[in-house]
Amino acid sequence: MNLFVLWIWMATAICVMADTADEENPYIKALKNNKQWHNVHGYVQVRPGAHMFYWFFFANGTRINAHHKPLIIWIQGGPGFAASGVGNFAEMGPFHMNLQPRNHTWVKERNVLFIDHPVGTGFSYVTNSSLYAKTDRDMAMDLARAIKMFFRRHKEFRHTPTYLFSQSYGGKICPRLAYYLHTAIEKKSLKINFKGIGIGGGWVDPKESILVQPEFLHLSGGIDRNLYLSSAKVAKQLVRALETEDYAQADILDDVLFSTLNKQGEINFNNVYAPSPYPDLEELQNKMNRYVKPSLSMVNQTIKWQYLSTEAYESLKKSFLVPSVSFLEALLDKTKLKIAIYNGNLDVVTPLGGASNWVHKLKWHGAADFAKAKRKRIRGTRNGYYKEMKRLSFWWVFGAGHWVPEENPEAMKQILDYVMDETV
């Protein structure tokens, strides 16, 4: 390198360093200018070479009496969406994606634990690509190990009422994970006060959602009649493959269905009336790497945070269409957990009609009474309806797509209050 080039390189480096130093980190500024939301973060090695990141926010931003407040463990969907950013900043954490305070944050009166899962997602990482989770069982077992270690590190929360809340593919994992936790508690290998679960836009029984997708898009104006007829035919073929457990063929047909439904323009499957794709998630990714990551002392700063890990997603592709209905039925029949299932009426991934279908087809001791139960209104103006019987409730949420916590926080608050036995 000649002296002139070296001088240019040094001058450029100094300018970049000066710009970086002069630039105020807006996330740090938000933390300084608003309520100090006390939090802790760390890693759990769930398997040799597989490290899971967690980020815990204390209720009301303080350690004082936090253990007397409910604790929510958030199970993000995807698989591969990173809870540390998507759940935290896009849905229910103390700050929005624009780093402004969120009025409807779950951290008011509740503790919230975000876990980046499966391994390789968000700030979680693997030392070898062979260590990615390959099945729903792998994923749930890793989560169970992370949760066990969290409560070992934070023993003061062992008697705190604890709940799993989940979304999308996380809703499919949630019943399995809940069953694993319940079993561990019974065997006395885990000490927590596990009280209930919530499943939002749950991919619990994929075939019921798939059957309804073409009709829902047709009735909402997303596709025309000709495309509806052709996509409905593919959906029926896909469901037949699922019923015979031919998941290889089902996976092929799932790709065909997705491309067919998008022939007349890209559809936002999270919300039928929202633009697609979500540009905010790309912006969030930049902010997480540039501003949030430097504030997390336990995080390896060489990790590039991505809102979706394609590697983690692809590793679980063979499990994508496998249902988890049997685990939910076991929870209803064999545990005392309170279970709430909720779905937005603008959701294309898991259309509300499909969710209602699989919920009413669940085989458990209270199924007949649940089917006859009357609907009640969710508080507020046109927020939807819910019905309940014994420990199961189902919520029809209006004005929301796949991400109910952010799109209808008023209805979501009532769901949280209901599950946690507060006044509805």
Residues 229 and 196 in one domain: no
In a domain, 185, yes or no: yes
Residues 202 and 97 in one domain: yes
In a domain, 12, yes or no: yes
Residues 138 and 240 in one domain: no
Q: How many domains does the chain have?
A: 3
**CA distances in angstroms from 257 to 165, 238, 411, listed in the order given:** 29, 8, 32
* C-alpha–C-alpha distance, residues 161 and 70, integer Å: 5
Which residues constitute the domain of residue 181? 35-206+320-419
Supply the mean pLDDT for the chain. 91
Residues 334 and 360 in one domain: yes
Model confidence pLDDT, tens digit, residues 99-150 = 999 999 999 999 999 999 999 999 999 999 999 999 999 999 999 999 999 9
Q: Give the CATH number of the domain where residue 146 resides.
A: 3.40.50.1820
In a domain, 295, yes or no: no
Residues 248 and 360 in one domain: no
Closest to 79 measured CA to CA, from 308, 249, 253: 308
Residues 190 and 73 in one domain: yes
Residue 15 has pLDDT above 70, yes or no: no
Residues 356 and 218 in one domain: no
Residues 78 and 214 in one domain: no
In a domain, 97, yes or no: yes
In a domain, 306, yes or no: no
Instruction: Assign 422 a pLDDT band (cuts: 50, 70, 90).
Output: low
In a domain, 279, yes or no: no
Closest to 397 measured CA to CA, from 201, 210, 164: 201
The predicted structure's pLDDT at residue 264:
78
Residues 181 and 216 in one domain: no
Strands 50-57 and 39-47: antiparallel
* C-alpha–C-alpha distance, residues 212 and 8, integer Å: 61
Among 28-37, 78-87, 257-266, the range scoring the smallest mean pLDDT is 28-37
The predicted structure's pLDDT at residue 74:
98
The predicted structure's pLDDT at residue 23:
64
Model confidence pLDDT, tens digit, residues 21-58 = 446 888 888 888 876 789 999 999 999 999 999 999 99
Percent of the chain with pLDDT over 70: 93
The predicted structure's pLDDT at residue 14:
38
Q: Which of 215, 240, 261 is a domain's end point? A: 261
Contacts 24+ apart (CB under 8 A), 187-193: 189/148, 190/147, 190/148, 190/151, 191/151, 191/158, 192/147, 192/151, 192/157, 192/158, 192/160, 192/162, 193/158, 193/159, 193/160, 193/161, 193/162
* C-alpha–C-alpha distance, residues 391 and 367, integer Å: 11
Beta strands in 257-344 (DSSP E): 338-344
In a domain, 315, yes or no: no
In a domain, 393, yes or no: yes
Q: Degrees (nearest 5) of the Cα angle 310, 311, 314?
A: 80
Burial of 38 (0-12, 13-18, 19+ CB in 10 A): middle
Residue 320 has pLDDT above 60, yes or no: yes
Extract the tokens encoding 385.
Answer: 């309806």
* C-alpha–C-alpha distance, residues 63 and 77, integer Å: 29
Residues 73 and 221 in one domain: no
Extract the tokens encoding 239.
Answer: 């469901």
The predicted structure's pLDDT at residue 13:
39
**CA distances in angstroms from 93 to 150, 280, 362, listed in the order given:** 19, 16, 32
Residues 44 and 173 in one domain: yes
Residues 91 and 199 in one domain: yes
The amino acid occupying position 281 is L
Q: Which of 243, 261, 279 is a domain's end point? A: 261
Q: Which of 192, 226, 261 is a domain's end point? A: 261
